[in-house]
């Protein structure tokens, strides 16, 4: 198994479910295999290789590979997590670490601030998007590795780190001393009113604080007059089961089953029922999903769909219906093993088949005709009924009530917008530094500022000066998309990531299509 496959098996859909970790008792192995004989063979292989291989063997790496291979034979989501990767994986879901708090990329050899984390030490110290960290505690930071970034900028709460900053528009570098602190990792990255009645929330993961974040956002949007909500779960790869249940519970006002699990052991089988007093039933809901919406995202979308609480729109979701439990291992690594399957309220198992192995399992996501293939496969899949009797299908993700394909852009546009040197970000940051005093707030900015033909040419000239080639005819086909990205980058550089999404969403084809279907979504309120 190659390294890419191993990495995908562990990281592509990172899902941790909360269960009490119990000690492992005596195992009942398959009678077809003498497990102890296989272990003796493994010991013999290790001994022969160790004694006779032409070069010294890195046994730490080799055995980690063996563990990965073993778990890969079970299913795509059971995995071994090595000691050096475990901390990073856990941080994604525990929602906090200690450091300075920046989102960054390595551009031009230097750590470049994409955005300071809100209310983090870097935010309080005044770091801005586009700032380059040229030295750390007096040590040159040019061509620093990502690993060294984590090692130098993270650290215990209360400790200091001295950064030398080069800021766009300023000739001289300057020093900033930052005192490290606990950094929250938010899963709700954007929440705002699209118009005077439509709220929007974008959720990237289901971490330990997610339901609290969503609950507070719902309360805030309702106070602003929200009567309908777009809940964006696109590219949300999942997270904690209990958080998925709690989030789904916020939308359900009847004592219905939200999700249930079934495993080989009785204690792995659970039924999660809504608490009506927690839920809100006074606004219409549209849930946006795509092919990378997985696991906990599918639990929420499945509950909304099966209980006829709202519309699900976008693409068919990932199809991850397996529940993992994590055990710590003696060397500081961890083992994540599938212990149950989960089912939506109607009884659907949404897990996609994985008989052809992990590689095909993930590569299927990239097929252009994926939706058509899934439609044909569903003909042979069991049919289920929602609470109001609508027909839904299992066996391959959550199918949307309204299919809205991903927007298609030319190869030129995709390369230019997604360029590793982050051309749009750099241009937007530079422009914002010169012009941010022109607008008093985001509302005024959105109303008055447009990416003109002149500004578009300015950006393209910038790209050419960076020795980036592009096909102008291809680019012209997507010029409105490019303009929306550039406007969003300028807004993000001034007011932060939420402002970026607020500008970008206004030209998002899947969001604009969702806005035209709220009459259908509101029908569910009549019967709910």
Q: Return the structure tokens found at 478.
A: 């997507």
| Claim to verify: residue 417 and residue 394 sit in the same structural domain | no
Q: pLDDT class for 151, splitting at 50, 70, 90?
A: confident
**What gap in Å lies between CA 325 and CA 340, rounded to an integer?**
9
pLDDT at position 375 is: 76
Query: Which one of 136, 168, 184 terminates a domain?
Result: 184
For residue 360, being part of any structural domain is answered with yes
Assess whether pLDDT exceeds 50 at residue 192.
Answer: yes
The rounded Cα 338 to chain-centroid distance in angstroms is 21
Tell me: do 256 and 400 sit in the same domain.
yes
Task: Give the pLDDT score at 126.
Answer: 84
**What mean pLDDT, rounded, does the chain reach?**
87
211 pLDDT above the threshold of 80 = yes
Contact 57, 50 (CB under 8 A): yes
422, 406, 500, 465 alpha-carbon torsion, rounded to 10° = 30
> Domain range holding 394?
188-322+342-407+513-527
Asked if residue 40 belongs to a domain, the reply is: no
Q: Name every residue whose Cβ is closer than 8 Å to that of residue 27 and which is 6 or more positions away in sequence.
A: none
The fraction of the chain above a pLDDT of 90, given in percent, is 59
Nearest CA to 288 among 13, 501, 77, 447? 501
CB of 112 closer than 8 Å to CB of 122: no
Asked whether residue 152 carries a pLDDT value surpassing 90, the answer given is: yes
Shared-domain flag, residues 131 and 235: no
Is 491 domain-assigned? yes
Q: Is residue 17 part of a domain?
A: no
Residue 261 sits in a domain whose CATH number is: 3.90.226.10
Residue 282: inside a domain, yes or no?
Answer: yes
Is 86 within a domain? Answer: no
| Secondary structure (DSSP) of 329-388 | -TTS-EEEEEEEEEE-TT--B-PPP-TT-HHHHHHGGG-TTHHHHHHHHHTTS-EEE-TT
Higher pLDDT, 226 or 376: 226
Q: Which of 167, 184, 201 is the last residue in one of the domains?
A: 184
| pLDDT (0 to 100) of residue 287 | 98
Residue 451 is predicted with a pLDDT of: 96
Q: Residues with Cβ < 8 Å from 444, sequence gap 6 or more?
A: none
Q: Is 211 helix (H, G, I), strand (E, B) or coil?
A: helix
Each residue's pLDDT tens digit, 87-143:
777 766 665 688 998 888 888 889 998 878 877 899 888 888 888 999 999 999 999
Mean pLDDT for 459-477 is 93
Q: What is the pLDDT of residue 93?
A: 67
Phi, psi of 63 (to 5 degrees): -75, -35
Q: What is the DSSP letter of 316?
A: -
pLDDT of residue 86: 82
The answer on 500 and 522 residing in a single domain is no
Q: Which residue has the higher pLDDT, 487 or 375?
A: 487
Residues 312, 442 within the same domain: no
- Among 172-176, 180-184, 200-204, which stretch is predicted with the lowest mean pLDDT? 180-184
**Are residue 403 and residue 455 in the same domain, yes or no?**
no
CATH code for the domain of 154: 2.30.42.10
More confidently predicted of 315 and 1 = 315
The residues assigned a catalytic role are: 295, 306, 320
pLDDT given for residue 12 in this prediction: 34
Number of Cβ within 10 Å of residue 35's Cβ equals 10
- Does 223 fall in a domain? yes
The answer to whether residues 267 and 385 belong to one domain is: yes
Overall average pLDDT of the 225-249 stretch: 95
Instruction: Compute CA distances 168 → 131, 144, 426, 486, 495, whole Å.
Output: 7, 20, 9, 17, 17
Q: In this predicted structure, what is the pLDDT of residue 65?
A: 87
The dihedral formed by the CA atoms of 303, 305, 309 and 311, expressed in degrees to the nearest 10: 140
pLDDT tens sequence across 295-345: 999 999 999 999 999 999 999 999 999 999 999 999 899 999 999 999 999
Q: Which residue has the higher pLDDT, 26 or 293?
A: 293
pLDDT band at 9 (very low <50, low <70, confident <90, very high): very low
**pLDDT, position 96:** 67
pLDDT-derived band at 171 (thresholds 50, 70, 90) equals confident
Domain count of the fold of the chain: 3
In the listed set 184, 209, 234, which residue is the last one of a domain according to the structure?
Answer: 184
Q: pLDDT tens digits for 64-80?
A: 888 888 888 899 999 88
Given a cut of 50, whether residue 58 has pLDDT beyond it is yes
Co-location of 254 and 105 in the same domain: no
User: Among 154-163, 275-284, 419-428, which stretch is predicted with the lowest mean pLDDT?
Assistant: 419-428
202, part of any domain: yes
- 527 confidence band (pLDDT: 50, 70, 90): low
One domain for residues 421 and 386: no
Is the pLDDT reported for residue 253 higher than 90? Answer: yes
Same domain for 250 and 171: no
> Are 364 and 235 in the same domain?
yes
Exposure on the CB side of residue 5, measured as CA atoms within 13 A = 15
Give dist(CA 499, CA 518) in Å, integer: 24
Rounded Cα distance between 395 and 398, Å, is 9
Q: How many CB atoms lie within 10 A of CB 506?
A: 15
313 and 210 share one domain:
yes
């Amino acid at each position: 198994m190659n390294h890419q496959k191993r990495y995908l098996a562990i990281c592509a859909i990172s899902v941790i479910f909360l269960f009490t970790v119990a000690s492992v008792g005596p195992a009942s192995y398959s009678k077809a295999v003498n497990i102890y004989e296989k272990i003796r063979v493994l010991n013999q292989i290790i001994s022969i290789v160790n004694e006779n291989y032409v070069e010294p063997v890195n046994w730490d790496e080799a055995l980690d590979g063996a563990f990965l291979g073993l778990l890969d034979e079970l299913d795509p989501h059971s995995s071994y997590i090595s000691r050096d990767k475990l901390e990073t994986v856990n941080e994604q879901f525990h929602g906090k670490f200690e450091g300075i708090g920046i989102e960054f990329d390595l551009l031009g050899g230097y750590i470049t601030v994409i955005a300071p984390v809100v209310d983090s030490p870097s935010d309080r110290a005044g770091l801005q998007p586009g700032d380059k960290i040229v030295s750390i505690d007096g040590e040159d930071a040019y061509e620093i590795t990502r690993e060294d970034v984590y090692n130098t900028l993270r650290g215990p709460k209360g400790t200091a780190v001295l950064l030398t900053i080069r800021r766009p528009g300023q000739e001289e570098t300057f020093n900033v001393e930052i005192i490290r602190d606990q950094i929250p990792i938010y899963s709700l990255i954007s929440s705002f009113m699209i118009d005077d009645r439509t709220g929007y929330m974008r959720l990237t993961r289901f971490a330990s604080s997610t339901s609290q974040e969503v609950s507070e956002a719902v309360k805030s949007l309702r106070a602003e007059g929200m009567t309908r909500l777009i809940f964006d779960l696109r590219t949300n790869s999942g997270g904690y089961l209990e958080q998925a249940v709690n989030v789904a519970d916020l939308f359900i006002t009847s004592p219905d089953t939200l999700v249930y699990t079934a495993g080989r052991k009785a204690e792995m089988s659970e039924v999660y029922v809504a608490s009506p007093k927690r839920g809100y039933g006074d606004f219409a809901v549209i849930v946006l999903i795509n092919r990378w919406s997985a696991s906990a995202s599918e639990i929420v979308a499945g509950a909304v769909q099966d209980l006829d609480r709202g519309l699900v729109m976008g693409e068919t979701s990932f199809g991850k219906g397996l529940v993992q439990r994590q055990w710590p291992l003696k060397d500081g690594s961890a083992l994540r093993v599938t212990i149950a399957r989960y089912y939506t309220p109607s009884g659907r198992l949404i897990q996609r088949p994985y008989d052809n192995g992990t590689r095909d399992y993930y590569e299927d996501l990239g097929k252009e005709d994926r939706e058509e293939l899934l439609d044909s496969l569903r003909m042979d899949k069991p049919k289920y009924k929602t609470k109001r009797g609508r027909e839904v299908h299992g066996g391959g993700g959550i199918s949307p009530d309204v299919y809205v394909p991903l927007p298609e852009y030319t190869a030129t546009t995709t390369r230019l917008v997604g360029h590793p040197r982050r051309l749009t970000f750099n241009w937007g940051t530079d422009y914002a530094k010169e012009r941010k005093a022109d607008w008093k707030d985001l509302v005024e900015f959105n109303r008055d500022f447009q990416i003109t033909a002149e500004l578009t040419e300015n950006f393209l000239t910038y790209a050419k000066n960076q020795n980036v080639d592009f096909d102008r005819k291809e680019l012209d086909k997507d010029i409105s998309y490019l303009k929306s990205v550039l406007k969003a980058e300028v807004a993000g550089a001034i007011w932060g990531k939420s402002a970026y999404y607020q500008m970008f969403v206004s030209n998002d084809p899947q969001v604009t299509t969702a806005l035209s279907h709220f009459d259908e979504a509101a029908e569910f309120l009549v019967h709910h």
